[in-house]
Amino acid sequence: IPEFMRILLDDWELSWEQSWDITSKVMSYTNHTILAEALEKWPISLMKNVVPRMFQIIEEIDRRYVLSMSAIHSDELIQRTRIVQGSTIHMAHLAIIGSHSTNGVAKLHSDLLKSVVLHDFYVIFPDRFNNKTNGIAQRRWLQLANEPLSKVLDDTIGHTWRQDSSNLKLLMNYQKDTSVLAKLAAAKQTKKIELADFIEANTGIIVNPEAIFDVQIKRLHAYKRQLLNLLHILKQYFDLKDHPEKRIHPRVYIFGAKAAPSYHYAKSIIKVINEVASLINHDATIHDQIKIIFLPNYNVSLAEKIIPAADVSEQISLASKEASGTSNMKLMLNGAITLATLDGANIEIRDAVGDENIVIFGLSEAQVYAYYENKNYSSIEIYEKNPMIQRVLNAFINGEIPNIEQEGREIFDSLLTYNDEYFLLRDFDSYCTAQSRIEQEYQNSTDWQRRCLINIANAGVFSADETVQQYADDIWHIEPLFAHESK
């Protein structure tokens, strides 16, 4: 925004009023995070030294904002929303003030922006706020990544879905067609065998393609709760160790994640997942009923191998923290069943497929905010009352998991000494119950495939084509240009 203003002011020699009118009409702001630490703030001293002209323009935008609002709103509201506050520049404030539109990327996210995160700005600019739920490139994540499934769709509903993903809905007519369900199952099995071969070639670990492939692939962050997944795996492992005669449907837990370079806690979680994997994968007493695969260097190419093979899609962030998520959409499109909290676009997936075709657990956004308001969450209390949680958490510090002395203590303390910021222990029992439901429902192959079909059929609404069209219609106000072949 200030750079565009500089071009108009300095290079084109327009007046401030002309420049601001053009800038605010051109600029629109899409917010992608609810986390306060991700809403950038920069020191004035740094900006003055690095981009002094930018700072001059930002300072003037701030001055004029305060002046324009002084006759309309209270001084307290203006001071909370101004761009320059003390020794800091608030970049999100600059984005909102300098834009004609502010949107979130899922319905819940947009509602939270209005009610909590950016509420002061919603009071000032209510007409600017809107929602545009994220979408995915379905040509990449289905047509390119999953040829076997694409062929089943072509043979069943024709080719029109390739251009218009809303036509995936035609698949709903085949819910009771056992031959179609069998073809879907065969396509999934083909991709599971391919992934199993890839895993063996790249890690040396042999996994059973008949197992449930349980997938969590996303940036490693505490709020996304890869650690909750690991806590359940440890519970399952200890159950098998305590009851050697017990048999479960084999499960392969697949992780793909990178941590930000300076995010020490996330790197500790990666280290611990890998050490638990080493422990479990080499324990012959559990008869290969659980395997953990943490695939290194997670990227799009790797995702294209994992997603078509997934049976279960882990979308387990603490409710209210995930803006939208898109791996949930990619996995749904490829026929995985979503195991989820009511967060981000998971809510819209549930609305699209129905409660019986998704597995929901955990606190709601309202319950999370009630804990914040009442300040009555106690992880120690949960720990003291739950023997299984004690068993699992103690494993981080008692030597049961080798080679994690520092990382294990860091994680243990984060959950108990620092009161479990993302409520893993509160959601633990609910999550374990949901995982048991997955185990039980997977046994009915025909019904499981029917639910996979319903997920695929209803994934068209999450196409990026649809999302871009909404941006074009509601925010950018532009018409498409059609290219014509030359004669």
Catalytic residues: 32, 218-219, 224, 326, 330
Alpha helices in 282-361, H assignment, sequence order: 300-306, 327-333, 346-353
**Strand order across the beta sheet in which 212-217 lies:** 290-295, 251-256, 212-217, 312-315, 337-340, 359-360
Amino acid symbol at 211: A
Q: CB-hemisphere CA count at 13 Å for 193?
A: 7
Asked whether 423 and 363 are in contact (CB, 8 A), the reply is: yes
In 3D space, the residue among 271, 196, 195, 282 whose CA is nearest the CA of residue 227 turns out to be 271
Helix, strand, or coil (residue 88):
strand
Nearest Cα to 117, choosing from 472, 298, 372? 372
**Which residues face 251 on adjacent strands?**
212, 290
**Which amino acid, 119?**
H
Rounded to a whole number of angstroms, the CA Rg of the chain reads: 25
Q: Is the dihedral of CA 154, 155, 156, 158 positive or negative?
A: positive
Structure tokens at 248: 């479960």
Q: Which two tokens stand for residue 75?
A: 């001084």
